Amino acid sequence: MTRTQQRAAENRRTVIDAAREIIATQGVEALTLEAVAEKADVVVQTIYNRVGGRSALLTAVAEQALEQSRVYMDPAYEADGTVEERMMLAANAYARFARERPHEFRILVEPPNEPEAVARIAELTRAQNARLTAVLREGMAAGLIRADLDPDDVTTALWATFNGLLALAWRPGGPSGKPRNRRPPSCRVHRHGE
């Protein structure tokens, strides 16, 4: 890599880090190219040259967020153990990611209203969720999970339910208004009737 390429890559990282920090501290609404340029100490044209416009910037932050989620999730899916154990590991890893990296989690589950970013986040999420689908298929083949269910639908339902549980956990007092134990919620999938 030439020095020019190294500087370009470094500028790109700096710009994306600045965008991520703005989102983390001020929310997605505060993300403007001007704010990122000021935070990164670059001119706006550098953002266009290294990343692109606002939508591309949001997409880059989301891609980084998904990379971070993989740090948590991949070991769970790659672990030895039963289907149920790996699903529990994955659920707990996802909850840990949400708790320890809340801004990255939120950009993935509450994508900004930018069509390009939404499409890319959906694509990345489908790829990540395919790992859960594979574990579900394994459980169905072993007779541990109802085989009459569509594993893609079950994956979507589990993912949506868990995101909802985690979002409720962010609220002061939780969904019931009572003080909440902040331990991550977990989910279980059993054969029908058990």
State pLDDT tens for residues 127-136.
Answer: 889 999 999 9
For residues 86 and 78, give the distance between their C-alpha atoms in angstroms, rounded to a whole number.
8
Cα–Cα nearest to 82, from 188, 161, 165, 155:
188
* Cβ 95 vs Cβ 109: under 8 Å: no
- Predicted confidence at residue 115, as pLDDT, reads 84
Query: pLDDT tens, 5-36?
Result: 999 999 999 999 999 999 888 888 899 999 99
Predicted TM-score (pTM) of this structure? 0.78
Query: pLDDT tens, 63-117?
Result: 899 899 999 999 999 999 999 999 999 999 999 999 888 888 888 888 778 888 8
The percentage of the chain sitting over the pLDDT mark of 70, rounded to a whole number, equals: 87
Domains of the chain by start residue, with CATH: 1-52 (1.10.10.60), 59-194 (1.10.357.10)
Supply the mean pLDDT for the chain: 86
pLDDT above 80 (res 187): no
Residues 6 or more apart from 182 whose CB is under 8 A from it?
99, 169
> DSSP for 36-48?
HHHHHTS-HHHHH
Q: Which residue has the tokens 């990164």?
A: 40
